[in-house]
Amino acid sequence: MNGALCAAKQQVRLAMKQKLAALPRESILEQSQIIQRKLLEFKPYVDANRISVFLSMPSAEVQTDEIVRHALSSGKHVFVPYLHKSPLPANPDIPPRVMDMVRLRDVQDYESLKRDKWGIPSIDSATINQRQRILGGGGSDEHQSDKGTLDLILMPGVAFDVAPESSEIRRLGHGRGFYDLFLERYAEKLEGLDLKRPSVLLYGLGLQEQFLSAENEQQVPIGPLDQPLHGLILGNGKTIVPPQLD
């Protein structure tokens, strides 16, 4: 990533961090409930059998607890992010830790997760070899890679907007590149398995304060590795999709 792009992204992240720090927790919970209710009648979610859902920090983003519980209770296969040491060849562009998606067994399994230092419920590494994984870690545990695919990924973000010319939905992450690299590796996996099926749907979940409107002076800066979303669900109940998918 070039220096100017990196600086532009950091500027938006800092501004959004300050905005969200002043947001009452009651507002975050209310918006999260609106999004969860919206999902119950949202066709991509209703139709999806295998979904990935991010597990939330205690503040400053959409809370996904009820979404995870509903998905598990309704019989969906629910996969959540898991960070582990990179099995990929040494490369300065690849972080030392990468992300995979691993399956939760049921609601009780979800409730048993311990929180990490950021307060996010996290998979115990001791249980990884007994869980389905989307990519697998490579090397000695490569056989744990699940040959299934994902229908839908519900993604977090720091900020979102709509590109004025292309109408693409843009997402700004936290800057670690976990989702970008996961999606790249996932696409390679599908190609390797020669699966003739649509790519996974990518939908962002955001608080209304995280959406940068056309009137806002700031925009979401993107680079060549940043993938546009298929849609965005906001805490005011609004669903945004590109015109060609509407």
173 is in an annotated binding site: yes
Residue type, 115: R
* Strand-pair partners of 160: 171, 211
10 is in an annotated binding site: yes
Q: Is 63 exposed, middle or buried (0-12, 13-18, 19+ CB in 10 A)?
A: buried
178 is in an annotated binding site: yes
12 is in an annotated binding site: yes
223 is in an annotated binding site: no
53 is in an annotated binding site: no
| Angle between the N-to-C axes of helices 25-40 and 65-73, in degrees from 0 to 180, rounded to the nearest 10 | 30
Separation CA 26–CA 107 (nearest Å) = 25
H/E segment holding residue 80: strand 77-85
50 is in an annotated binding site: no
82 is in an annotated binding site: no
Q: What angle do CA 7, 14, 223 make, to 5 degrees?
A: 40
55 is in an annotated binding site: yes
235 is in an annotated binding site: no
User: Nearest-CA neighbor of 229 among 182, 184, 172, 186?
Assistant: 172
176 is in an annotated binding site: yes
210 is in an annotated binding site: no
72 is in an annotated binding site: no
11 is in an annotated binding site: yes
179 is in an annotated binding site: yes
**Binding-site annotation: residue ranges for substrate:** 55, 61
**Binding-site annotation: residue ranges for ATP:** 9-13, 171-179
**Binding-site annotation: residue ranges:** 9-13, 55, 61, 171-179
